[in-house]
Amino acid sequence: MSPADPAVPTTAGPGTPATPTAAGPGTPATPTAAGPGTPATPTAAGPGTPATQTRLWGGRFGGGGPSGALTALSRSTHFDWQLAPYDLAGSRAHARVLHRAGLLTGDELEQMVGALTELSAEVAAGTFTAVEADEDVHEALERGLTEKLGALGGKLRAGRSRNDQIATDLRLYLRHTVRALVGEVAALEAALVGLADRYRDVAAPGMTHLQHAQPVLIAHQLLAHAHAFARDVDRLQDWDRRTAVSPYGSGALAGSSLPLDPDAVAAELGFDRASDNSIDGVSDRDFAAEFCFAAALLGVHLSRLGEEVVLWTSTEFGWARLDDAWATGSSIMPQKKNPDIAELARGKSGRFVGNLTGLLTMLKGLPLAYDRDLQEDKESVFDSMQQLLLLLPAVTGMVATLTLRPEVLEAAAPQGFALATDVAEWLVRQGVPFRSAHEISGSMVAYCEQRGLELDELSDAQLAEVAPELTPDVRTVLSVPGALAARRARGGTAPERVAEQLASLGELARAHTAWASSSPVAAAL
């Protein structure tokens, strides 16, 4: 494939779950501007629907219910409604456990599972939504169930609390939606490998401190980014193993005296096991904080890639050109072609770090078991997920269609005395101690600077004038191809080492795509 004709990969590649769509059963919620799976705006409660009818608590409270200000503060349906498919999946599993414990008859179980399945379809279609009187997603869905089943719907509350429900729902949401996220990262890995392969033989200036340091293959530089994204996927896969623990059965904090089977619920919901400690089950938000950390680090990697694209496509560098479909213009300057995707990747990294910081700060002072502070855990998680699902396809498209300029890159590769290290290492191979070799090579650079010469332009006499150790044979390393070929140790920029990376990273991207295509939660939704 020619450099001018790159193929644009699909968002996540074959077998990867589509970017989440409507929050229907088995599908992660759609990321939108307001958050993944932005819920429908709760409708006003109709006449005869007072808050006390839907409230999951009462009895010891008299009067007319909570104050309006408290109700407004407590309401969370505007962001937690996207957990509805996961909450309903948990309810179906819980109903089956209640039946096995003898707390529901076979007929009652059939009615309850049927009503919950109907409710799932209505939630997916948008025909059942939260109303203003509903405090949270749990309350809204119980209202929907009791509207269908009457008093039988109230039996589902036995043996569970909103404390273990919400901890389970959030794990289900993340374990399911992270698969879509990994699919997007895998697509970016594949795009970077494809770009590196198209320009695999092109030399470029390797930089430290944003100054010319040593020549590298530009493919080596691009694959360094691919390695970072591969680690992001590895981190999320490792996170998934720790998150595959079900809090269901923990109750409010002490477990349940009813003969329930938390491991059966865990198995139905795609978890590896149930929580070993009921207090930890409802308290633990490590999985949320760890996800936000993984998201923040992924955001940092996207930001670093974005920064390089901004530099490479600038007039001053001129190393690359953006495709018109993946750039924007100026409202006043007709000539402008702006790298908005790269800049937004750079800008959003601060948002991801902020979400992590906010979540950790909220968690740091909490006593064990459930505290209402934990209502604040979800928006950080949802925002990080939604923004990454929004950002990654754009970055992938930008990378896949980027056109590099080999003539500019190769002309710049030896500039800035980038072969000075090769001179020092050549001297070491001649038996000169590296400290002395470093000094001789530095003197050679100074000599050239004073005379406006490049290293390979020195005559035999001038080489000897700098140092007697600099024989004419030093010219064997004063070429970019020679410098590249010499770095053949593992991890180096030699062509054969880069070819190995292209193969291994391509295989890894395909493995990540395969992992993303199979959600452990999907069967329960």
CATH number at residue 35: 1.10.275.10
Predicted local distance difference test score (pLDDT) of residue 66: 78
CATH number of the domain encompassing residue 376 = 1.20.200.10
The answer to whether 293 and 275 have CB atoms below 8 angstroms apart is no
Q: Are residues 403 and 434 in the same domain?
A: no
In a domain, 116, yes or no: yes
Are residues 428 and 401 part of one domain?
no
Is residue 256 flagged as an active site residue?
Answer: no
**pLDDT average, residue stretch 235-250:** 97
Confidence of residue 209 (pLDDT cuts 50, 70, 90): very high
Which residue among 127, 161, 195 closes a domain? 161
pLDDT, greater one: 58 or 90: 90
> Percent of the chain beyond pLDDT 70?
88
Measured in whole angstroms, the distance separating CA 250 from the mean position of its chain's CA atoms is 30
Whether residues 329 and 450 fall in one domain:
no
8-state DSSP, 238:
H
Phi and psi at residue 510, to the nearest 5° = -65, -40
pLDDT digits over 440-475, tens only?
A: 999 999 999 999 999 989 999 999 999 999 999 999
Return the pLDDT at 39: 41
Which of 209, 275, 301, 518 is labelled catalytic? Answer: 209
| 3-class secondary structure per residue, 128-168 | CCCECCCCCHHHHHHHHHHHHHHHHHHHHHCCCCHHHHHHH
Q: Sorting pLDDT into bands at 50, 70 and 90, what band is 61?
A: low
Which SS3 state, helix, strand or coil, does residue 31 take?
Answer: strand
- Position 51 scores a pLDDT of 42
Residue 62 binned pLDDT confidence (cut-offs 50, 70, 90):
low
More confident residue, 274 or 331: 274
**Residue 22, phi then psi, degrees to nearest 5:** -55, 150
Query: What digits encode the pLDDT tens for the residues 132-148?
Result: 999 999 999 999 999 99
One domain, residues 373 and 435: no
Q: Give yes or no: residues 188 and 298 share one domain.
A: yes
Question: Looking at the domain assignment, is residue 2 inside a domain?
Answer: no
141, 187: one domain: no
- The reply to whether 299 falls in a domain is yes
442 and 510, same domain (yes or no): no
- Tell me how far apart the alpha carbons of residues 447 and 459 are, in angstroms, rounded to a whole number: 12
Residue 30's pLDDT is 40
- Specify whether 276 is located in the same domain as 349: yes
225 assigned to active site: no
DSSP character at residue 489: S
pLDDT of 439 > 90? The answer is yes
Q: Residue 276 corresponds to which amino acid?
A: D
244 within domain boundaries: yes
Structural domain contains residue 339: yes
Domain membership flag for residue 3: no
Number of structural domains found in the chain: 3
pLDDT, position 463:
96
Q: Residue 8 has what pLDDT?
A: 42
Task: State the pLDDT at residue 40.
Answer: 42
- pLDDT of 380-437, one tens digit each? 999 999 999 999 999 999 999 999 999 999 999 999 899 999 999 999 999 999 999 9
Q: Which of 131, 161, 191 marks a domain boundary?
A: 161
Q: Is 283 domain-assigned?
A: yes
If we measure between CA atoms, which residue out of 223, 203, 200, 201 comes closest to residue 214?
203
Q: What is the pTM of this model?
A: 0.86
Closest CA to 7 of 197, 182, 213: 197
Range of the domain at 243: 164-258+272-411+500-524
Residues 211 and 281 in one domain: yes
DSSP bridge pairs for 205: 215
- Of the residues 161, 176, 200, which one is the last residue of a structural domain? 161
Task: Quote the crossing angle between the two packed helices 434-451 and 420-429, to the nearest 10°.
Answer: 140
- Which residue of the set 67, 314, 330, 518 is catalytic? 330
Tell me the CATH number at 458.
Answer: 1.10.40.30
If asked whether residues 289 and 175 sit together in one domain, one would say yes
Together in a domain, 380 and 441: no
Contact between 133 and 45 under an 8 Å Cβ cutoff? The reply is: yes
**Residues 182 and 301 occupy one common structural domain:** yes
493 is a domain residue: no
